[in-house]
Amino acid sequence: MKKNIVHHVGLKLILTATTLLASASIRAQTTIPIATAKNAIVLQTDKENRLRTVYFGKALDNTADYAATANQYNFNDGNAAITNVAYTPAGTWNLLEPAIQVVHADGNRSLELKYVSHTVTTVDANTTLTAIVLKDPVYPFFVTLCYKVWKAENVIEQWTEIKHTEAKDVTLEKYASANLYFSNKDFYVTTFQGAYAREMQPAETKLLQGTRTIDSKLGTRAMLLQSPNFIVSFGKPASETEGMTMVGQLAWSGNFKLDFEIDSYKNLRLMAGINPYESAYALPPNEVFKTPSLVYALSNNGTGEASRGLHQWARKYRVLDGEGQRLTLLNNWEATYFDFDENKISGLFKDAKDLGVDMFLLDDGWFGNKYPRNGDKSGLGDWQENVKKLPNGLGYLVKKAGAEGIKFGIWIEPEMVNPKSELYEKHLDWVIRQPERPEVYFRNQLELDLSNPKVQDFVFSIVDNLFTKNPDLAFIKWDCNAVIYNAYSEYLHQKGLPQTELYVKYVHGLYNVLQRIRAKYPKVPMMLCSGGGGRGDYEMLKYFTEFWPSDDTDPIERIFMQWDYSYFFPAIVTDNHVTDWGKEPLKFRVDVACMGKLGFDIVAAKLSTTDKQFAKEAVATYNTYKDVVWHGDMYRLINPHENDISALMYVAGDKSKAIVFNYLVNNRQMITATERPVQLQGLDAQKHYSVKEINLYPDGHKSPIAEGSDYTGDFLMKVGINPHVTKNRTSVVLQIDEIK
């Protein structure tokens, strides 16, 4: 067991001559640096003992020097609102957007927060947790600001814990996770908007005075239209290799709100947390309300380095089995939709085996008897095998797949119910709906009320029954295809709890179910899906091994989308399937899907002989380099949003191997051949490498890339290598191997 070392530095004050000179009062200041290996946020108390953010920038060599950083800035202005407070309260001196807003047990709406103490806990050699206690001087109301720092990866996870010992409940009207403050000349923010099958569309903008808000009120599937992922670039627009950059995400699977506010000093306040919309929460005395985390990676060298830090952190510390293996698969969704039976499915096992993938995934449509799931209008909630389609049950299929030498996985959408279902007939009180109003459907379905512990038990039992009955079941695809309309919980009503707690308690209920699943089934891989990319965040990825970025599998679109997801997620968590979407040839589709976890969702039996041969060879080749894609470092080389081609590479940790993916993304003009070489990154300049083209389509076509070549890493990174992408070679994959 790791031993945690706690340094109590609460009342230990860091005094320097400068701080004393600068302060009118003799109150000593407390300085709290939150420092990664390369960057630091510095918090400091002022003469009123309020905690302020006084520095954000490069880390200093000497910790003691942080105490003097504030003196180089003139933040305070008697008449303008003071904005750099580390967690801004409402109802007293602050007249700007607060981080926290409460109604005390006695009905009073004012809050002040003063520094009390802080602790720095060493979690391991790379990780510290700083917890800073603030308190209202009048009410027994406490806020603890928590900052977990992973030094080497330059990653910070920040959240807030709220508690009180007042006589009755305190209503939390707003309770941000983070209230950050940055001083710089200009700020550029990239946010990601989308829609079904058009997820993660980036837009970068220079922030002007006022507030830019990104939020969701969709409840479940909260990221369908806006994503809680963002990039802040300091001083100039985001660049892949230069400049101070923050790549961040609010790790919360429900309604969120990100406010980027430029204040009157032209500084940036970033407020991130659960969306306060319809989310007032009655906190009983002595209970701790823990906000979700804002997770961010910092870099002084652009988005590339920040993403790699975040990826390393995600794999090592966050994602379930992040450093482990994944199962390649054949899915039947686009091959059959709802139209299948036992024979058709078991017939596909042979295709999976033939392709050389690890698993067959049975998608939607296998359940429901009174209301069979033969379309998306019925059956959700009735998780029993449909006896017509699967007369011998799932057990038979799991066994049959095993006999074919492949694993078997299954799709569920356990939080949902169709009004045409036995579950709806039996448990109307479990359904989120307004009792007096017409129901509003999204994909013909409604949510179950996960704030209700009985519903949590039910959802847990769906997964538990599947595994109890089929211990060899190897994989779960957990879908969530609807948003919450008519937000009303019969359970909260019965309990006399405010309806405004539904959005938060739903997500807490969901996490509770997932914790129970993981306590009993710690390892089994699970894919998070939400009608595409409606869900996918670092809280959910504690329980899931991967997620489905979008139903849009057109490979051209995927090049862009996977590029944009890659700012935040490592390739090992993004599931990419080869389907019939788009017009590109099979080779192109397979190459694009190889930039992540490869899967197929096609009728393999219908492939031409050469396509089939190519697919089989590509899977076999993928197995030889997937370790580099899944566990290596990613370098975005040529941005598809700005160029005719796109290129991206993965480099093994020891720099002995790399895979470079190159694509033509602009078909408008005739490109005879890529004019310029693609400069690689992340190699060892001193090492010698060979370059060979892989995934060649077996039509006799010879690669123009000479085999047996010998390049230094220095050459490949400075001059580069030309992939010879042309209209006839729209997709080129290069394997770079160290010559030993």
List residues binding ligand GLA (CB under 6 A). 333, 363-364, 411, 479, 481, 529, 531-532, 548, 551
CA distance 410 to 30: 55
Supply the minimum distance, in Å, between the C-beta of residue 629 and ligand GLA: 22
- What sign does the dihedral 342-344-347-349 (CA atoms) show? negative
Supply the minimum distance, in Å, between the C-beta of residue 479 and ligand GLA: 5
Q: State the DSSP string of 470-494.
A: -TT--EEEE-------S---HHHHH
Residue nearest to ligand GLA (CB): 364
C-beta closer to ligand GLA: residue 136 or 551:
551
CA distance 646 to 204: 19
Supply the minimum distance, in Å, between the C-beta of residue 477 and ligand GLA: 7
Residue type, position 73, single letter: Y
CA distance 568 to 557: 18
Supply the minimum distance, in Å, between the C-beta of residue 363 and ligand GLA: 5
Residue type, position 178, single letter: A
C-beta closer to ligand GLA: residue 87 or 333:
333
Give the Cα-Cα-Cα angle 86, 87, 90 (nearest 5 degrees). 135
Residue type, position 251, single letter: A
Supply the minimum distance, in Å, between the C-beta of residue 530 and ligand GLA: 7
C-beta closer to ligand GLA: residue 144 or 481:
481
Supply the minimum distance, in Å, between the C-beta of residue 108 and ligand GLA: 48
CA distance 371 to 386: 9
What does the DSSP 8-state code read for residue 572? G
Supply the minimum distance, in Å, between the C-beta of residue 548 and ligand GLA: 6
Rounded to the nearest 5 percent, the helix, strand and coil shares of the chain are 25, 30, 45
C-beta closer to ligand GLA: residue 89 or 549:
549
Supply the minimum distance, in Å, between the C-beta of residue 337 and ligand GLA: 8
Supply the minimum distance, in Å, between the C-beta of residue 551 and ligand GLA: 5
Rg value, the chain, Cα: 27
Dihedral angle at the C-alpha atoms of 164, 166, 168, 172, nearest 10 degrees? -40
Indicate the SS3 state at residue 420: strand
- Contact between 329 and 361 under an 8 Å Cβ cutoff? The reply is yes
C-beta closer to ligand GLA: residue 410 or 645:
410
CA distance 483 to 447: 8
C-beta closer to ligand GLA: residue 218 or 529:
529
C-beta closer to ligand GLA: residue 447 or 551:
551
Supply the minimum distance, in Å, between the C-beta of residue 531 and ligand GLA: 4
Q: What is the separation of C-alpha 193 from the centre of its chain, rounded to a whole number of angstroms?
A: 14
CA distance 544 to 476: 9
C-beta closer to ligand GLA: residue 238 or 480:
480
Q: State the DSSP string of 57-100.
A: EEPPSSGGGGGGGGGG-----SSSPP--BSS--SSSS--S--SE
Supply the minimum distance, in Å, between the C-beta of residue 458 and ligand GLA: 20
Supply the minimum distance, in Å, between the C-beta of residue 434 and ligand GLA: 26
C-beta closer to ligand GLA: residue 419 or 531:
531
- Contact between 190 and 237 under an 8 Å Cβ cutoff? The reply is no
Letter string b/e over residues 703-717, b meaning 16 or more CB atoms within 10 A of that residue's CB: eebeeeeebbbebbb
- Contact between 53 and 181 under an 8 Å Cβ cutoff? The reply is yes
C-beta closer to ligand GLA: residue 273 or 531:
531
Q: What residues have CB less than 8 Å from 537, skipping those under 6 apart?
A: 223, 228, 249, 250, 251, 252, 253
Q: Point out which residues pair with 670 in neighbouring strands.
A: none
C-beta closer to ligand GLA: residue 306 or 417:
417
C-beta closer to ligand GLA: residue 581 or 625:
581
C-beta closer to ligand GLA: residue 333 or 408:
333
Supply the minimum distance, in Å, between the C-beta of residue 177 and ligand GLA: 28
